[in-house]
Chains A and B, each alone.
Chain A
Amino acid sequence: MKILVAVKRVIDYNVQIRVKEDGTGVVTDNVKMSTNPPDDNAIEEAVKIKEAGKATEVVAITVGEEKAQETVRKALAVGADRGIHVKVDGILEPLAVSKILQKIVDKEKPDLVFMGKQAIDDDCNQTGQMLSALLNWPQATFASKIEVKDNKLEVTREIDEGLETIEINFPAIVTCDLRLNEPRYASLPNIMKAKKKPIEEIPASDLGVDVSPRLEQLKVEEPPKRKAGIKVANVAELVQKLKNEAKVI
C-alpha cells in the first residue's frame, strides 16, 4: 500500500503575523517558515502505518515555490521514503492545489492520500474535500484516529457533537486533526539520511493545470484592536452598563 502525504510551507505558528503596509498580504521576508502543523500529523500517521507493516511506501508532496522543498525534506527526515515537489510561484488557491494533486495521484496511484485538515495561513480547509470530489474518492475529514483494516479505514472524526467514527473504502482521502498523534522529532542522523533521499521536481506547467487564481483579493488588514476593559464597582453598575452601554441584556 502506498500513501501520498501533502505538506505545505507556512509561516511558523509562533511568529506574530504582520500585515504589509499596502494591504496586499502579510510580511514573509525573513520570517521563520515551517511545515503546516496538521501536515506534520499527517506525515506522522503515514509513517506509523508503514512502521506497523500496513503500508509499503510513504511519498511526501508539496506544491509551491523553490523553498517549499524544505517541507518535503523535513517529511523525509521523519520517515517518508521519497518526495515530489511541484514547482509553482505566486498565489495558489486550494482548487489549483487539488487539481495538481489529482494529476499526481493519477501518476503515482496511491491507495491513500493524507494531508492536514487545513493550513494555518489561509485556513481554507478545502483542498482535501476538493481533491476527494475531483477523484471521486471517499473522504474522512478531521481525523483524530485512523485504523487500517483490510482495504478499509476506520476513522474517528472530531465534530461539534463529539466524536464520529466512520468506515470508508480504499482508495481514500483523509485530512488530519492535531489530536491524531504527536509528531516525532527529526533526529540528526535521519536529517542527514534525508539529504540523500530523492525529491522529484516537476514544474506545474508540465501538468497542464490552470493555476491562476479564481478569487480576487481586495484587501488584507489586521483585526481591529480590542478596547481595554474597565473595572466596575459593583453588580448594579455592571448590570446597568450591560443594559445601557453594551445593550446586551
Chain B
Amino acid sequence: MEYDVVIIGGGPSGLSTAIKLKQLDPNLNVCLLEKASEIGAHILSGNVFETRALDELIPNWKELNSPIKTKVTKEKFLFLGKTKSLSWPTWLLPSVQQNHKNYIISLANLCRWLAEQAENLGVEIFPGFPASEILYNEDGSVKGVATQDMGIDKDGNKKDSFEPGIELLGKVTVFAEGCRGHLGKQLIEKFELNKGKDPQQYGIGFKEIWEIEDKNHQEGLVMHTAGWPLDNSTYGGSFMYHAENKQVFVGYVIGLDYKNPHLSPYDEFQRFKTHPAIKKIIEGGKRISYGARALIEGGFQSLPKMFMPGALLVGCDAGTLNMPKIKGSHTAMKSGIIAAETINEHLKENKDLSIYEDKFKNSWLYKELYEARNVKPSFSWGLILGIIFTGIDQILFRGKLPFTLKYKHADHETLKPANEMPKIDYPKYDNVITFDKTSSVYLTGTNHADNQPVHLKLKDPDLPINYTLEKFDEPAQRYCPAGVYEVQKENNVNKFVINSQNCIHCKTCDIKEPSQNITWVTPEGSGGPRYGNM
C-alpha cells in the first residue's frame, strides 16, 4: 500500500508528526503503525508534562477535553539517606527542574487523546501492526516498511491462521518507535547516523501506580529524590507524582551505565519504597499498575543525525529526551512537529530532507538540549560532584559553559566482572510495599500469543552460559524488569531460559547485554503489555 507518509510508532512524537502533517495539508495520505493492541498500551512515562509543544500543535487543547488536568501545585526534592531524608529547597533547584507551570498526566492517556485528534484529521492508525522490516529502494534510500507476518509457529512454520505481512510504502517514512527502536537501531547503523557522536546513554525507568489513602494524598504534589538506595557512583533517582483520583505515580530511574553486575534495578526500586519518607505515603494504599521502559539519557552529545534518504527519526528513536529536566514528551512532540514541516516542504517544494537539521537547530528544542548537555555526564564523577557541577552549570551559567563533557562508554561496556564487585543482599518482598517480579508482571497485562517464534534473539545461543554467566553472573536475570531471563539448573547443567511471553518491551536487554548478544525484534502484533493510564 502506498502513502505519502508512513509513521512507525504511536507515541507522542509519531502522533505529533501525523497531526502536524494533516494540519499543513489535509490531502496528504498519512498512516501510522503501532505494535501495541491499541494506542497507549505500550506507553509508560512519569509524567510531568510541559505543554510548550502541545500549545504549538493544538493551541485550544484545553477546550478539547484533553486528559491534562492536574496542575503541579507543590514541589519537593529530597536527598535520601538510609533512614533519614533531607529536603532541598526548591528555589535552589535549577530552573529546568522547576515544574510549577506543568501538569501531572498519564502519557498513555495523552497519546490516546492525540490519536483521536489525528483520526479526526484523517490519519489512518493501525494498532496491532508492528513494522518488522525496513524496505529500501535500489538507490539505497528508505522506501517504507513491511509489517510482521502473523500466524507463524515457534519453529517458523505457517499456521492455519497465517497472514502475511504487507509492504507499506511512503514518500517519506518516519521512525517514531521510542527509545531503542529496533528499526531505528538498524538505520543508525546502516546510514552511520551516529558517526562522530558520543555513544548513546540509556536508563531503565520503573513506574507503579498506587491508590493511596486520602490523608496521604496531595493532588498536584511533585516529589523527586536522589541518594539511597543507590550508591554514590550509580546514577538514578525517584519520582512520586500525586495525580487525580487519589493516585500517585511512583517511579525510579537508574542509568544503565551501572557497573556492578549484581545490581538489580527492579530490586533497587522495590527497596526504595521501603524508605520511611516514601513508605508513609503509600502505606495503607494499593498498587494497581506496574511497568518499566528504557529511556534515553545521552541527550545532545549522543543525538544521531536525524535524517537519511527517504526517512526521518523523531523523538527518542533518535534521543531527544532532556535528562536534567526529566522530560521527553514535549521534546519528542516538537521533533515531530519539525519533522512534519520538513516533510511538507520536501513534498511540495522538493527541498532536501536535510532541512530537518536546520529547522531543528533553529528551534527551542535544540537550545534546550544544548543547555542540558553537561548534566548527565558530570554524574560519572559521582552523585556529589555531579550535583555541585550541575549547580554551577545550570544555575550560574545556565548551560552555557564553553565546553561539552563527553560520554566515553556505551552502557553495555560498563559492567565489571562479577567476582570483582560486591554482591547485593536485597530484602525479601513483603507483598504490601514490595512485590516479586511475577506478581508485578501480572499487573502489566502482558501477553504474547503462544506458539510463535521467540522475539528475543541470541546471536550466540551458548554465550549466556559459557561466558556471561561465568564472567558477569548473567546480569539479564537482574536487569530484566519482567523476569524474562532465567538460568535454571537441569541435572546439574545450567540452562539459559527465555520466557519471552513475559516481555514488556522495555528494550533493556538489547541495550545492557555486555556482548550485545540479545537482539529485540518485534513479536506478533498486539503482543506486549496492556498498560492503562501509565
Query: A residues touching B (Cβ–Cβ < 8 Å)?
Result: 12, 14-16, 18, 21, 29-32, 34, 182-185, 187-189, 191-192
Query: B residues touching A (Cβ–Cβ < 8 Å)?
Result: 1, 37-38, 40-41, 106, 108-109, 112, 124, 126, 129, 147, 150-151, 159-161, 163, 166, 168, 211, 288, 442-443, 445-447, 525, 530, 532-533
CB of B523, distance to nearest CB on chain A (Å):
13
* Residue contact B211 to A187, C-beta cutoff 8 Å: no
Residue of B nearest to A18 (CB): B288
9 A-B pairs with C-beta separation under 8 A = A12-B37, A14-B447, A15-B445, A30-B106, A32-B41, A34-B37, A188-B126, A188-B147, A192-B1
* Residue contact B166 to A188, C-beta cutoff 8 Å: yes
**Shortest 3 CB-CB contacts between residues of A and residues of B:** A185-B150, A185-B163, A14-B447
Residue of A nearest to B159 (CB): A182
Residue of A nearest to B168 (CB): A188
CB of B368, distance to nearest CB on chain A (Å):
30
Q: Which residues of the partner chain A approach B533 to less than 8 Å between Cβ atoms?
A: 29-30
Of B161, B211, B442, which one neighbours A16 at CB under 8 angstroms? Answer: B442
- In the complex the two chains form, what is the Cα distance from A189 to B167 in whole Å? 11
* Residue contact B163 to A30, C-beta cutoff 8 Å: no
* Residue contact B446 to A14, C-beta cutoff 8 Å: yes
* Residue contact A30 to B112, C-beta cutoff 8 Å: yes
Of B106, B108, B112, B161, which one neighbours A185 at CB under 8 angstroms? Answer: B161
Given A18-B288, A185-B161, A188-B129, also A30-B40 (CB < 8 A):
yes
* Residue contact B443 to A16, C-beta cutoff 8 Å: yes
- In the complex the two chains form, what is the Cα distance from A185 to B130 in whole Å? 14
Q: Which residues of the partner chain B approach A18 to less than 8 Å between Cβ atoms?
A: 288
Given A187-B166, A188-B166, also A32-B159 (CB < 8 A):
no
Q: Which residues of the partner chain B approach A191 to less than 8 Å between Cβ atoms?
A: 126
Of A15, A182, A187, A188, which one neighbours B530 at CB under 8 angstroms? Answer: A15
Q: Which residues of the partner chain A approach B108 to less than 8 Å between Cβ atoms?
A: 30
Q: Which residues of the partner chain B approach A182 to less than 8 Å between Cβ atoms?
A: 159-161
Say what secondary structure dominates the interface of chain A. Answer: loop
* Residue contact A187 to B445, C-beta cutoff 8 Å: no
Q: Which residues of the partner chain B approach A185 to less than 8 Å between Cβ atoms?
A: 150-151, 161, 163, 525
Interface centre among A18, A34, A188, A192 (most CB of B within 10 A): A188
CB of B244, distance to nearest CB on chain A (Å):
11
Q: Which residues of the partner chain B approach A29 to less than 8 Å between Cβ atoms?
A: 532-533
Q: Which residues of the partner chain B approach A16 to less than 8 Å between Cβ atoms?
A: 442-443, 445
CB of B461, distance to nearest CB on chain A (Å):
29
* Residue contact B166 to A32, C-beta cutoff 8 Å: no
CB of A31, distance to nearest CB on chain B (Å):
6
Given A15-B530, A32-B38, also A21-B211 (CB < 8 A):
yes
Residue of A nearest to B529 (CB): A14
CB of B152, distance to nearest CB on chain A (Å):
11
- In the complex the two chains form, what is the Cα distance from A169 to B351 in whole Å? 69
Q: Which residues of the partner chain A approach B446 to less than 8 Å between Cβ atoms?
A: 14
- In the complex the two chains form, what is the Cα distance from A14 to B450 in whole Å? 13
- In the complex the two chains form, what is the Cα distance from A29 to B446 in whole Å? 18
Residue of B nearest to A32 (CB): B530
CB of A89, distance to nearest CB on chain B (Å):
18
* Residue contact A184 to B161, C-beta cutoff 8 Å: yes
- In the complex the two chains form, what is the Cα distance from A6 to B112 in whole Å? 28
Residue of B nearest to A34 (CB): B37
CB of B359, distance to nearest CB on chain A (Å):
32
Q: Which residues of the partner chain A approach B288 to less than 8 Å between Cβ atoms?
A: 18
- In the complex the two chains form, what is the Cα distance from A184 to B109 in whole Å? 29
CB of A45, distance to nearest CB on chain B (Å):
14
- In the complex the two chains form, what is the Cα distance from A32 to B289 in whole Å? 14
- In the complex the two chains form, what is the Cα distance from A189 to B112 in whole Å? 23
Interface centre among B38, B124, B532 (most CB of A within 10 A): B532
Interface centre among B37, B40, B112, B211 (most CB of A within 10 A): B37
Interface centre among A30, A183, A192 (most CB of B within 10 A): A30
Q: Which residues of the partner chain B approach A31 to less than 8 Å between Cβ atoms?
A: 532
CB of B446, distance to nearest CB on chain A (Å):
7
Q: Which residues of the partner chain A approach B532 to less than 8 Å between Cβ atoms?
A: 15, 29-32
- In the complex the two chains form, what is the Cα distance from A15 to B289 in whole Å? 11
- In the complex the two chains form, what is the Cα distance from A15 to B529 in whole Å? 9
Residue of B nearest to A13 (CB): B447
Given contacts A31-B532, A32-B445, A189-B1, 8 further A-B contacts (CB under 8 A): A16-B442, A29-B533, A30-B532, A32-B38, A32-B532, A182-B159, A185-B163, A188-B126
Q: Which residues of the partner chain B approach A188 to less than 8 Å between Cβ atoms?
A: 1, 126, 129, 147, 166, 168
Q: Which residues of the partner chain A approach B40 to less than 8 Å between Cβ atoms?
A: 30
* Residue contact B163 to A187, C-beta cutoff 8 Å: yes
* Residue contact A183 to B161, C-beta cutoff 8 Å: yes
Q: Which residues of the partner chain B approach A184 to less than 8 Å between Cβ atoms?
A: 151, 161, 163
CB of B128, distance to nearest CB on chain A (Å):
8
- In the complex the two chains form, what is the Cα distance from A79 to B106 in whole Å? 36
- In the complex the two chains form, what is the Cα distance from A183 to B163 in whole Å? 12
- In the complex the two chains form, what is the Cα distance from A234 to B211 in whole Å? 42
Q: Which residues of the partner chain B approach A32 to less than 8 Å between Cβ atoms?
A: 37-38, 41, 445, 530, 532
- In the complex the two chains form, what is the Cα distance from A182 to B445 in whole Å? 22
Residue of A nearest to B126 (CB): A188
Of A14, A30, A183, A189, which one neighbours B445 at CB under 8 angstroms? Answer: A14
- In the complex the two chains form, what is the Cα distance from A15 to B532 in whole Å? 9
Q: Which residues of the partner chain B approach A30 to less than 8 Å between Cβ atoms?
A: 40, 106, 108-109, 112, 532-533
Q: Which residues of the partner chain B approach A14 to less than 8 Å between Cβ atoms?
A: 445-447, 530
Residue of B nearest to A195 (CB): B124
- In the complex the two chains form, what is the Cα distance from A15 to B147 in whole Å? 25
Q: Which residues of the partner chain A approach B109 to less than 8 Å between Cβ atoms?
A: 30
Interface centre among B38, B108, B530 (most CB of A within 10 A): B530
- In the complex the two chains form, what is the Cα distance from A113 to B446 in whole Å? 34
CB of B70, distance to nearest CB on chain A (Å):
15
- In the complex the two chains form, what is the Cα distance from A33 to B533 in whole Å? 14
CB of A47, distance to nearest CB on chain B (Å):
12
Q: Which residues of the partner chain B approach A15 to less than 8 Å between Cβ atoms?
A: 445, 530, 532
CB of A17, distance to nearest CB on chain B (Å):
10
Q: Which residues of the partner chain A approach B112 to less than 8 Å between Cβ atoms?
A: 30
CB of A9, distance to nearest CB on chain B (Å):
13
CB of B151, distance to nearest CB on chain A (Å):
6
- In the complex the two chains form, what is the Cα distance from A34 to B127 in whole Å? 13
- In the complex the two chains form, what is the Cα distance from A183 to B160 in whole Å? 10
CB of B290, distance to nearest CB on chain A (Å):
10
- In the complex the two chains form, what is the Cα distance from A236 to B469 in whole Å? 41
- In the complex the two chains form, what is the Cα distance from A4 to B441 in whole Å? 39
CB of A184, distance to nearest CB on chain B (Å):
5
CB of B103, distance to nearest CB on chain A (Å):
17
- In the complex the two chains form, what is the Cα distance from A81 to B147 in whole Å? 26
Of A12, A21, A34, A189, which one neighbours B166 at CB under 8 angstroms? Answer: A189
- In the complex the two chains form, what is the Cα distance from A192 to B147 in whole Å? 15
- In the complex the two chains form, what is the Cα distance from A189 to B126 in whole Å? 11
